[in-house]
Amino acid sequence: MQPIPHPEPQPGTGLPGVGALFGGFFSIGICGFGGTLPWARRMVVEQRGWLAASEFTDLLALCQFLPGPNIVNFAVCLGARFRGPAGAAAALAGLLSAPMVIVMTLGALYGAYGGHAVVGRAFHGLAAAASGLVLATALQIAAPLRGRALGLAVAGVALLAIAVLRLPLLPTMLVLAPLSVALHRTPR
C-alpha cells in the first residue's frame, strides 16, 4: 500500500496545519468507508506521527464518551488540539466531504439497481471486510494493555457486559470507567 501524500506541517511549529488536517482526514474519509478507525490510527500515529500510540488511544477513549460517531468526535478533537476551531472545522470537513458525495451517489445507484442479487452479495462482502478492520483496530488499541492484568480484566468485564449480556453502554461505562481509574491509581 502506498503512503498517503500529505502537506508538511507549517514551518517552525511541528504541528499539522489546517491544510494538512483537511488532507489527512479527507484521505481517511475517502479510503475508510465503513471502517475509518484503522485508517485514522495508521495516518495519525504511524504515517504522520501526529500522536503517539498511547495519545491516540487516550483521545479515542475520550471521544467514545461524547455523543456521535467516534471518528467525527476524534477529527474535531484532534483538529482543535492542533489548530483550534479552524483545525476542528478543517478536519471535520475533510472527513465528511468525500463520504457525503459517495453516499449520495451510492444512494442514487441503489435506488436504480438495489433489487439485483449481486448488490446483496456485494453488501455482505463489504460487511465482512469492515468487521475485520474493526477487529484489527481493537487488537491494536488493546496492545498497551498487555501485561496489565487489571486493565485486561476491566476490558473483559466490559466486553462481557455489553456484547454478551447486552447491558446498556452508558450505565456500564459509568460503573467501569471510575473502577478502571481507581484500579490504575492504586499502588501495586
pLDDT in tens, 139-185: 887 777 777 778 788 888 998 999 899 999 899 999 998 988 888 77
Q: Considering the domain boundaries, does residue 178 fall inside one? A: yes
Are 162 and 137 in a shared domain? no
Residues 43, 59: Cα–Cα separation, whole Å: 15
Domain total of the chain: 2
CA distances from 33 to 20, 71, 95, 146, 177 (A): 20, 12, 10, 30, 30
Q: Considering the domain boundaries, does residue 67 fall inside one? A: yes
Q: Considering the domain boundaries, does residue 156 fall inside one? A: yes
CB 45 within 8 A of CB 53: yes
Query: Containing domain of residue 122, as a range?
Result: 18-146
Q: Considering the domain boundaries, does residue 57 fall inside one? A: yes
Are 93 and 185 in a shared domain? no
pLDDT at residue number 50: 95
Cell representation of residue 34: 465503513
Instruction: Return the residue matching grid coordinates 506521527.
Output: 49
Are 111 and 162 in a shared domain? no
Are 80 and 65 in a shared domain? yes
Are 186 and 141 in a shared domain? no
Share above pLDDT 70 across residues of the chain, in percent, rounded to a whole number: 90
Q: Considering the domain boundaries, does residue 12 fall inside one? A: no
Cell representation of residue 187: 499502588
Are 96 and 152 in a shared domain? no
On whether the pTM is more than 0.75, the answer is no
Q: What phi, psi does 40 have (nearest 5°)?
A: -65, -45
Are 135 and 176 in a shared domain? no
Are 139 and 152 in a shared domain? no
Q: Considering the domain boundaries, does residue 6 fall inside one? A: no
Q: Give the residue from 112, 129, 146 where a domain finishes.
A: 146
Is residue 9's pLDDT more than 60? no
Are 23 and 69 in a shared domain? yes
Are 136 and 171 in a shared domain? no
Other C-beta atoms lying within 10 Å of the C-beta of residue 35: 20
Residues 74, 59: Cα–Cα separation, whole Å: 7
pLDDT tens profile 85-128:
999 999 999 999 988 998 899 899 989 988 888 988 988 898 88
Are 129 and 164 in a shared domain? no
Are 112 and 51 in a shared domain? yes
Q: Considering the domain boundaries, does residue 3 fall inside one? A: no
